[in-house]
Structure 1
Amino acid sequence: MAGDEVSEGNDVHPPARPQLRRRLGVFDSVMIGLGSMIGAGIFAALGPAASAAGGALLVGLAVAAVIAYCNADSSARLAALYPQSGGTYVYGRERLGPFFGYIAGWGFVVGKTASCAAMALTVGAYAWPGRAHVVAVVAVAAITAVNYLGVQKSALVTRGIVFAVLAVLAVVVVVCLTASDTGFDGLAITSGHGVAGVLQAAGLLFFAFAGYARIATLGEEVKDPARTISRAIPIALAITLVVYLCVAIAVLNALGADALAAATDPLAQAVAAVGFGALESAVRVAAVIAALGSLLALILGVSRTTFAMARDGHLPRLLGAVHPRFAVPYRAELAVGAVVAILAATADLRGVIGFSSFAVLVYYLIANASAWTLSAKPWPRLVAVVGAAGCLVLAAFLPRASVISGVIVLGVGAVIYGIRSSRRT
């Protein structure tokens, strides 16, 4: 009820509600989605996924892609109807009620804040392994400054990053697939992995696909949202799937499943293993660039959801301010940057990835439930049901520590919501 009261007040007094400018077209929106996904997937999730599924890594990739498609379809339909900053925070609130919108927003903010830390630590691990945490904090500060200057500048930087990384990945694929002596061992599910391992790999790889949400969270900053968002999300997802599939096959071809599972820098090791060690430095530079691009888009999305929740009173309202010159939610961006910097200075990479996966899967569970209410037609509802069921299954098969920590943090958010609601009542 509290959320409804805020919404009604905003309708009566629209000038009191800060608004963002619509500047992004389909191309820039796709670039932001690609920048979010490709950096995380290729350089942070392939190794752990191979460790979980062995030679069945590609099966896990297919499962993750199906669920990601269902989530993308649900998100695109919802975003076209509700072109506002906040993504599923807005959809859950409008379709299911204020509590579900709040939980979605809370899960997104805490989960994607962890993702930001993971990407920052990836930058540090590739750029300067001995000082990974220091480099990570510097990277967060730099990206926060770029976002502060405006979303168009963020989109331009992301575009350049995506093109540079795709060029290097294309070289890696060609080199690894044309090698004559390879270690590829097929798709057989080796002993100790099984179905549970494949599902865990799918959950880890879903973390890599989840970047298309950045497009939906920018709903107030895209031109013609119904057309732009509905096109940008599936295009970004399709391109990412093709890239993931090609790179995964190429790296498996070069290293084999066991070596891939043990590698912390699998793409660099892959080019070295097939006799192209001179490319290793270029691959490491590309890893840093990709992780920076992902960090750029992630902080952009988290700050917009934080802005939307603050504007509705679920987070401190001072975070709901828009900069008079740059037209960005600058206080939300600075607050998110500060929290990410603290995590990057103290957190463990694998731990934040697992926690983020759980929170993001809950976020998309609510997105699919919201999309289910949009239409009584069989196909859209089937897509929403498959997406919701997939999110539940993948979340259940994540590492136990990730599930426990995720339940605790979401529970804390629910308690906070209950306390605030009771006070308002």
Structure 2
Amino acid sequence: MRTPDHAQVKLNRTISLPMLIFYGVGVTIGAGIFALIGELVGLAGHQAPLAFLLAGIIAGVTGVSYAKLSSIYPRAGGEAVYVNIGMGPFWGRVVGLGVTATAIISSAVVALAFAGYFQQLLHLPTPLITSIVILTLAGIAWFGVRESVLFAAAITLLEIGALIVIGSLGAANLMDMNAVVQSLNPLAENADLIAITSAAMIAFFAFIGFEDIVNMAEETKDPEKNVPRAILVTLVLTIIVYMLVALVAVTSIEQHTLAASRAPLADLYTAVSGRDGALIALIAAIAMVNGILVQVVMASRMLYGMAQEKLVPGFFGVLDPKRQTPLYATWFVAGLTILLALSFPLVHLAQATSAIILFVFSLVNFSLWRLGGRTETPTLLRKWRWWGLSGTVICAGLLLGEAIKLI
């Protein structure tokens, strides 16, 4: 019998490990690689693959911390839950709101970018395009988590398929092992360590998204095992795909051409296949749609999880009794995303998201260190205590470096 106050409705635990990996890969490998490869080649030149490798290692450090914490605390609200337990409700609330804000801002930015691509096909007003795409994707997110993840998985297959096609077509250029080794050698001739480091910082943000997996814990089967596995598999697959594309890029096309391109992967596809890159440009636009969907799903789960921890008002924890998805949280996220997309200049806000993520990562790692020092903490976290401190130092150091650049 349905309860009128939704009190006994719970999230629907339907996500398997393969579906969760698809979700993680979909939210991580998205619009970033389609847009960033040109800029990275422009900065790091032939060492762009090394920049991706370094970024993957940086992300991997925090990824391990997420994996360990999620195996002990498999709850929606992920980061907010970990920091709430490790540092207290104030910092838990700060982290949760920070993650939610990042998801909403990035969704708004991506929606505007999608509108630009879409207007190449059909000229409609930007406000109309952004509103329709956000509301449509929020509707999918509300309709059901299984449907949302399957939709994201289908687009993920399309994205990865396009990247693999580019990698396969350019694979012949990787037979020159000397060129490949030089691309991964920070001491190679003409290598600029400062430029490589700067490129790695930009590439780091192409890895952001793996952490969203933890917010699906209460809808995942056997989350104590599957959430950590999905995080680590997602990071490994992302590193492999990015490295492959970057290696093909620096061995297949003139660096200045790729750096100046507005659609770098479309031009790379043309270079390795001799065919028009319009299809790749279309896939890039579709990748943006995927990015919006997974961010709406994640942000609504974050608010739901925070409501369960009493860190935000309780109505964010209300679930649709039929769909078993966050009701008010989903449409709140959609509404705020539309408001930002239509009302504010987002360039500076988008730049701020990088700092927010590094701040969140610092606190998550620090919480692992704090929890590992408590006698009542499970043995697993105590064993990984100093890993958390190392992750804190790395993320805080990167955040400080970014702050210094602004001074």
TM-score exceeds 0.5: yes
CA distance in 2, matches of 1:193, 1:298: 36
2:159 partner amino acid: V
1:296 partner amino acid: L
Aligned to 2:377: none
2:399 partner amino acid: A
| Partner of residue 31 from structure 1, selected from 22, 35, 54 | 22
Aligned to 1:273: 271
1:236 partner amino acid: T
In the TM superposition, what is the alpha-carbon distance from 1:354 to its structure 2 partner? 2.2
In the TM superposition, what is the alpha-carbon distance from 1:128 to its structure 2 partner? 2.6
CA distance in 1, matches of 2:232, 2:84: 24
**1:345 counterpart = 2:324:** no
Instruction: Note if contact 2:35-2:264 (Cα within 8 Å) is conserved in structure 1.
Output: no
**Worse overlay, 306-315 or 88-97:** 306-315
| Partner of residue 357 from structure 2, selected from 353, 360, 367 | 360
CA distance in 2, matches of 1:144, 1:76: 28
CA distance in 1, matches of 2:125, 2:211: 28
| Partner of residue 307 from structure 2, selected from 291, 295, 310 | 310
- CA-atom RMSD in angstroms: 3.1
CA distance in 1, matches of 2:191, 2:103: 28
Instruction: Note if contact 1:203-1:395 (Cα within 8 Å) is conserved in structure 2.
Output: no
Instruction: Note if contact 1:310-1:320 (Cα within 8 Å) is conserved in structure 2.
Output: yes
In the alignment, structure 2 segments of 5+ residues that lack a partner are 1-5, 374-380
Instruction: Note if contact 1:47-1:260 (Cα within 8 Å) is conserved in structure 2.
Output: yes
Aligned to 2:221: 223
Aligned to 1:87: 78
User: Partner of 1:264: helix, strand, or coil?
Assistant: coil
Written as runs of structure 1 = structure 2, the 5 A alignment for 1:374-393 is 374-375=371-372, 380-393=384-397
Aligned to 1:255: 253
CA distance in 1, matches of 2:170, 2:329: 43
CA distance in 1, matches of 2:137, 2:85: 32
- CA-to-partner distance for each residue in 1:74-96, whole Å, 9 max, x for gaps? 11111111111111100000112
Aligned to 1:147: 141
In the TM superposition, what is the alpha-carbon distance from 1:319 to its structure 2 partner? 2.2
Query: Structure 1 200/165 Cα, relative in aligned 2: closer, same or farther at 3 Å?
Result: same
CA distance in 2, matches of 1:59, 1:352: 28
Query: Structure 1 99/198 Cα, relative in aligned 2: closer, same or farther at 3 Å?
Result: farther
Query: Structure 1 252/118 Cα, relative in aligned 2: closer, same or farther at 3 Å?
Result: farther
In the alignment, structure 1 segments of 5+ residues that lack a partner are 1-14, 405-425
Aligned to 1:125: 116
TM-score normalized by structure 1? Answer: 0.81
Aligned to 1:12: none
CA distance in 2, matches of 1:325, 1:309: 22
| Partner of residue 208 from structure 2, selected from 189, 210, 213 | 210
- CA-to-partner distance for each residue in 1:357-394, whole Å, 9 max, x for gaps? 11111111111112223446897234323322221233
Aligned to 1:330: 327
In the TM superposition, what is the alpha-carbon distance from 1:400 to its structure 2 partner? 7.0
**Worse overlay, 227-236 or 315-324:** 315-324
Paired residues, number: 387
CA distance in 2, matches of 1:86, 1:312: 9
In the TM superposition, what is the alpha-carbon distance from 1:44 to its structure 2 partner? 3.2
Aligned to 1:5: none
**Worse overlay, 46-55 or 151-160:** 46-55
TM-score normalized by structure 2? Answer: 0.85
Instruction: Note if contact 1:177-1:254 (Cα within 8 Å) is conserved in structure 2.
Output: no
CA distance in 2, matches of 1:349, 1:167: 31
- CA-to-partner distance for each residue in 1:48-83, whole Å, 9 max, x for gaps? 434443443223212211121111111111111111
| Partner of residue 106 from structure 2, selected from 108, 115, 123 | 115
**1:159 counterpart = 2:156:** no
Aligned to 2:62: 71
Query: Structure 1 215/192 Cα, relative in aligned 2: closer, same or farther at 3 Å?
Result: same
1:53 partner amino acid: A
Query: Structure 1 343/110 Cα, relative in aligned 2: closer, same or farther at 3 Å?
Result: same
CA distance in 2, matches of 1:223, 1:345: 38
